[in-house]
Amino acid sequence: MKIIEGGVCAAQGFKAGGIHCGIRKNRSKRDLALIVSDKKATAAAVYTTNLVKGAPLTVTKSNIADGYAQAVICNSGNANTCNANGVEIANEMCSLVAEATGVDAKDVVVASTGVIGEPLSIEPIKNGMAELNESISYNGNLAAAEAIMTTDTKVKSIAVSFEIDGVECKIGGIAKGSGMIHPNMATMLVFITTDCAISSEMLKKALSSDITETFNMISVDGDTSTNDMVTVLANGMAGNAEITSEGEAFSTFMKALNTVTVHLCRSIAADGEGATKLLECSVQGAQSLATAKAAAKAVICSSLLKAAMFGADANWGRVLCAIGYGTTDVDVTKVDVSFKSAKGQVDVCKNGAGIPFSEELAKEVLLEDEIDILINLNNGDFASTAWGCDLTYDYVKINGDYRT
């Protein structure tokens, strides 16, 4: 397995593109993306658990209920959420894709991201559809990745190649996500494509299994978005024997999928609104997997800990505090804590109590842009990892006038 270029266009038979159609006022920012497979693909998706859901999620869920899709359209700048005609607009977006590409409207995944509660006009999308269709190509990954961004500051894209029974397959993805990130079942917007042949049932199984250890383990600000969705399209054009059950081929596919999703998780967490540092919290020695996850997520979500990391302050008591309110079956007198980065590692807590450490070394470790928070509960054999970012002044600045 190796990292390759191409993102959602790395797999055979996938074109992508993106344009500025006028949804966003800033003409220098693309706001409409399209991904199209040369042939119908098996499809799977997971969605936000927020009771308030964007209209595109409702339409997408209906469209891929049969386990198939062939295209993805996504706009940025407007979430198409809490709008009386939201479903109508989302369906019309699918129809516009059908008219332009020949793909059946019921085989279109539709997504929107941006401000909640603002009416979304179909006119810019309708007027830009011809240009959008002309923009797609087998090298159009970057344009599509840019078009789905909102407050993101960096493109999030990756692809890998892998072998199934001697046949080379490829899988790649793009994502957007910077704020309103605290997923539970999906995250932000993530579009993954592969040329591996895999049944829709096994694709759903792979995605549902993977997100419990990846996208559900990241948090930027504790707010679960209304529009979170992860989709995977598999068009089978690599030519491998279709994966229809568990076994070596399925395990290999799962590993490739996980390589893509972990990379995107880290990219999203590192690009949190106003963030200056990526935080990775690794918990081991837990009595159960649920406890390991709860502890890691509690630490990553702690506003006090996130603020301390921004200030490069080794305030390890905030780690224990988060574990204390985030879990129930932990013996806090056994907990060890360390901070680690490219500058080294500093142990700060042993058996639930502080130990002498160099504040100078700790400051040096925590000034790096990637920080590992290492926790050993010393109470079992289970482990888990969560990702997040520091909490900075800029987060408030960005969200203080996000709509206006």
Q: Show which residues are catalytic.
A: 187
Give the Cα separation of 367 and 80 in Å (integer): 39
CB–CB of 177/148 below 8 Å? Answer: no
- Please check whether residue 152 is in contact with residue 160, taking contact to mean a CB–CB distance below 8 angstroms: no
- For every residue of 113-151, DSSP letters joined together read EEETT----SHHHHHHHHHHHHH-BTT-HHHHHHHT-SS
Rg of the chain in Å (alpha carbons): 22
Neighbours of 127 (CB within 10 A): 11
Residue among 282, 284, 309, 232 nearest 385 (CA): 282
Q: How far apart are the first and last CA of the chain?
A: 46
Task: Read off the tokens for 301.
Answer: 């979500």
What is the crossing angle of helices 200-211 and 248-270, to 10°? 40
* Buried-exposed string 250-263: b where 16+ CB fall within 10 A, e elsewhere: bebbbebbbbbbbb
- Residue 19 and residue 30 in contact, taking contact as beta carbons nearer than 8 Å: yes
**C-alpha to C-alpha distance for 188 and 113, rounded to whole angstroms:** 8
Q: How many CB atoms are closer than 10 A to CB 244? A: 13
Cα distances (angstroms) measured from residue 134 to each of 15, 28, 35, 74, 101 = 11, 19, 12, 16, 10
Please say whether the beta carbons of 80 and 115 come within 8 A. Answer: no
Alpha helix ranges (H) inside 271-392: 289-301, 303-310, 317-326, 359-366
* 3-class secondary-structure state, position 15: strand
State the Cα–Cα distance between residues 174 and 144, nearest whole angstrom: 8
- CA count, 13 A, side-chain hemisphere, 62: 12
